[in-house]
Amino acid sequence: MNKKKIINDPVYGFINIPSELVFDLISHPYFQRLRYIKQLGMTHLVYPGALHTRFHHALGAMHLMSLAIEVLRGKGQEVTKVEEEAATIAILLHDIGHGPFSHALEHTLVNGIHHEDLSMLIMEKLNVEFEGRLTSAIAVFKGDCQKKFLHQLISSQLDLDRMDYLNRDSFFTGVTEGVISFDRIIKMFNVVDDNLVVEEKGIYSIENFLISRRLMYWQVYLHKTVIAGEQLLVKILERARELALKGVKLFATPALQHFLSNRINVIDFFEQELHLQQFMELDDQDIFASIKVWQDHPDAILARLCKMLTTRNLYKIEITNEAPDESRIALLKESVGVVLNISKEEVRYFVFEDVIRNRAYNAGSSNIYILLKNNTLIDIAKASDLSNLESLDKTVKKYILCYPRII
């Protein structure tokens, strides 16, 4: 069977599948599952085009890896075929541990279990299945490889993961502020003392990359309506789980039922094979099929929350720099309790606070270094003549207050 296939990607054009092993990994059910998990979760509630999947993103990041390695080889860096395949597989599988609506899932059904740890676990399972052929890829993914810059292409502040999702998410949302010069940045890649750096000619492209990332967070990923949708989904899953643990009968696919009806801690998840098997059966369809059915559930709280989501009657959300006034929150809770005829305990599903954070650049953690013409290195925040670039190194914290629109 010919496994040297090409895929037509809407962002980059034709993408090559470089080897038989990569083809077999893409064909594996664990990877194919990513076709049914949206990259941007609830963002389509604001940007209707944001229906692309984690499958798209993984293939795009893989393509950028091939471009980056070609550039670095052209500049005298030795990257063997084995190392190239390892880096390609590592970037291809970097998000394989994502569940449907990861943010909501990590806060409810698989609490405390992060997708990065799941990706590592799944890669190790696949390595057994593929008789050790992923060992080098796992080393690159973990940063245990001899060539540090290969790991930095996968996980750093200028990695190919970020480069693809900014490019792809701006393409599918139509938010042009997120468009970055990915091709120019990659062309400016170099390696100094085994670290990935950017040549001085690429400094403005890096400035644009960091500013674009900040704008995409506020305009897309942390858009108030997106947050309202995600928070609503969190509350739906919280209520469903509360009912399931009390023995209330709920419609759910077997995989979703498993996580609704069992209290699974981090240790159990990683020690008992069954939990991972059930997790790998979960995708967006499990969640939304259940929500459609739960609209008519006898539990008034669950039914109302589900109808709010399916009809896009989301929470009203206020985002502020200061914590909301406690007396106002108490008044809102009291009003909602009266209007919906629910108890003080049940009001927490409809009136609540949370915080959001955004940090576009973290100086001191895998810094982005610029290689000057005199062969010295300088951090991008110092090299840039943009006065606001250093401000991107600060974590911006905002407070959110959610409550129903009926108030």
- What's phi and psi for 304, nearest 5 deg? -65, -45
To the question of pTM greater than 0.75 for the whole model, the response is: yes
What pLDDT is attached to residue 132? Answer: 97
pLDDT at 386: 67
In whole angstroms, what is the distance from residue 12 CA to residue 167 CA? Answer: 10
User: Over the chain, what is the mean pLDDT?
Assistant: 93
- DSSP-assigned letters across all residues of 216-256: HIIIIIT-HHHHHHHHHHHHHHHHHHHHHHTT------HHH
| The predicted structure's pLDDT at residue 314 | 97
Q: What is the mean pLDDT of residues 164-174?
A: 97
pLDDT for res 108: 86
Predicted confidence band of residue 243 (pLDDT cuts 50, 70, 90): very high
Per-residue pLDDT tens digits for 319-352: 999 999 999 999 999 999 999 999 999 999 999 9
CB–CB of 302/310 below 8 Å?
Answer: no
Q: Above pLDDT 70, what percent of the chain?
A: 98
Q: Is the dihedral of CA 392, 395, 399, 400 positive or negative?
A: positive
The rounded distance, in Å, linking the Cα atoms of 246 and 155 is: 42
Residue 33 is classified by DSSP as G
User: Once rounded to an integer, what is the mean pLDDT over residues 285-306?
Assistant: 97
The 10s digit of each residue's pLDDT in 254-286 is 999 999 999 988 888 888 999 999 999 999 999
* Chain centroid offset of residue 69 CA: 24
Query: How many alpha carbons lie under 13 Å from residue 406 in its C-beta half-sphere?
Result: 13
Q: Give pLDDT tens digits for 373-395.
A: 999 999 888 887 766 666 677 78
More confident residue, 31 or 102: 31
pLDDT score of 363 more than 80: no
The pLDDT of residue 361 is above 90:
no
At 337, which amino acid appears?
A: G
pLDDT of residue 15: 96
Cα gap 98→114, rounded to integer Å: 8
Across 66-80, average pLDDT: 97
* Domains of the chain, start order: 6-219+368-394 (1.10.3210.10)
**Residues 6 or more apart from 153 whose CB is under 8 A from it?**
65, 68, 87, 91, 159, 160, 196
133 — phi, psi (to 5°)?
A: -75, -5
> What's the pLDDT score for residue 266?
86
Please report the pLDDT score of residue 141 as a whole number. Answer: 96
Please state at what angle helix 224-245 crosses helix 254-261, rounded to 10 degrees. 80
Instruction: List Cβ neighbours of 242 (8 Å cut-off, separation of 6 or more).
Output: none
Confidence label for 205 from pLDDT (cuts 50, 70 and 90): very high
Q: At what angle do helices 224-245 and 284-294 cross, to 10 degrees?
A: 70
Q: Compute the distance between CA of residue 54 and CA of residue 105 in angstroms, rounded to an integer.
A: 16
- Taking the C-alpha atoms of residue 399 and residue 319, their distance in angstroms, rounded to an integer, is 6
